[in-house]
Structure 1
Amino acid sequence: MKAVRIHAFGGPEVLHLEDVARPVPAADEILIRVYASGVNPADWVVREGGNDVLRPYLKLPMTLGWDAAGIVEEVGSAVTDFRKGDAVYGEPDFPGAGSYAEYCAAKASQFAHKPRSLSFTEAAGVPLAGLTAWTALFADGKLQAGQHVLVQGAAGGVGSLAVQFAKAKGAYVIGTASAANLDYLRQLGADEVLDYRSQPVTELTQGVDLVLEASPLRDNAERLRTVAALQDGGIFVSVNVDFPFSEEVLAALAAKHATGLLSNNQPRQEWLAEMAELIDASKVKVVVSRVYPLEHAAEAHRESETRHVRGKLILEIQQEAEPA
């Protein structure tokens, strides 16, 4: 089968399309014929050699990609949730064989049936960003209906889904982005939108229950300013797990009896299934910015590295007509 792999860490030039053996699923795994794979910042962070959190887990050579949508080709002996021919989407094992490949084997518990209303290309844009947003909002952020959440970096892959998930669950959503993306956030359902460059968040927003840092910005001084937007006892959740809160930020949180958490993605089947229900109920839409063929993975990485992508970048793996 064809796969995009790396044999050394570095820039986009280390990505190579090559022939590799098709994986064999373990007892608790499914083998997916991959139709499309999402491209995420995590992919090029790994390609460059990872960060302090990821580096111990990375072994070369490796196939990148942790977003997959496709058809079940085989099921492991212990798998009961799927059968051959099922259309699925989910998050491949990390840091195992990834989804920049015609086939990937992954734990069945990290996949769910694909939203019926989405193409494979659209569905591939959901799992990693969606599970990151879901974990941060609901598992770590404890967000409830009627609460106020401030989503920083709301126009990106994680942020745009976080806005919609929070809104679908009955929260009041405030989103920050560049001026060019404010109308986009309104279209996603944000109740308030702020230009992070020109509108001081803490002067315009007070008493939020949850801050979700989905922006790639790693700046504890900015975090310190944002703590002022939290109400007493609120929660500040960041998806930037490689960037700990500074002592100053922790002290500011403590003064407000607030909690600061670094949120690590949890790939749970039941959450993917609930996301699919929201998508099929037209409460969440998936925005695909651009689709690249598999052999142009390096170009997709270069675009992702600009950090100015609205929605998701996708690699198309299979070009034939998608099954219903």
Structure 2
Amino acid sequence: MRRLFRGLPVLAALVTVAACSAAGGAAPSPKAATVTVTVTAAPSPSAATPSGPVTTAPTPDATSKPASSGPRPVVAPDGRTCPDHPTAACTGAPPGLALTEAPLNDSGSAHRVDVAGRRLDRVHIKGDLVVLADDVVITNSVIDGRILNEKDRRLKRFTISDSTVGPAQGCDSLPAIGDGEFTAVRVHIRNHGDGIRFSGANIVVQDSFIDLCSNPKDHSDGIQGYYGKSNLVFDHNTVDQRGVADRTAPIFIPRSQNPEAKNVVMTGNLVMGGTFSIQLWVAGGYAIFRNNMLLDGTWDYQPVEAQCKAIDWKDNKLVTIDDSYRVTSVTGPLECAGD
């Protein structure tokens, strides 16, 4: 990433795990700590939207039962399916949908939403989306640029589902979605150097497909922690960084840039590419890394560089896949390596 923006609730996953110590903190006893998220109906919108049927979108609820992890089908509301991990075939805006072009009412380059509870359904934004009010819901839409959500140094809550973020051609070096207080489900991120920016708190990304790119001097990442806060769920996503020249990692939460990052859950993801494909440190709370899969041999240096003693690391694998991102074989365990 060359330039930073500050911008941006949690879903169906997961897991009963051992609570682990963070660097520099006292190590708690390894007793089970349950971390769960679910999907519920979105809040009722308080502003009108373009014509057409309105669908619900996920909002956070931290009291649900755990969901399964690892390979599983993805089924979009319009019936598109992926049998194993998310791809472009079951994520993003439904093909053939009639979209209403949203006006670029913010400096001629972005669509600004400043009404709480506003619902954007079946819209095409030919620029960035700027969310300046809480509980905005985006469904079945295409955003050619990025999503930003900071106002008065506070991140505004929003959810996005079954939508596409990124230009149809070229490469935008900046992150597609950030920084906190958002839920993204079945989102197709395309043609961005960075996919998800983890700088705030309360983020869920699930069943999404992140297809990366780079421009010269970029540091492309699938999800990057940059002064991340608490409560990140990254569950059952596909991150493809193969062929990206100026890259760091599909999963990149580095030590020095994340002194407050805690309560990180990553499960059931399929990732590929990068220098070290998985770089993961946390400063406190728990870190859970389970049932993830890495495409064998797609890293430059080694598969993992992580704060192993602070992570509940279990059932992660090296795999091969076919052209539809379906796992065709398990080639071995994906071991943690690092501190």
Same fold (TM over 0.5): no
Greater C-alpha radius of gyration? 1
TM-score, normalised with respect to structure 1: 0.24
Greater share of strand residues, 1 or 2? 2
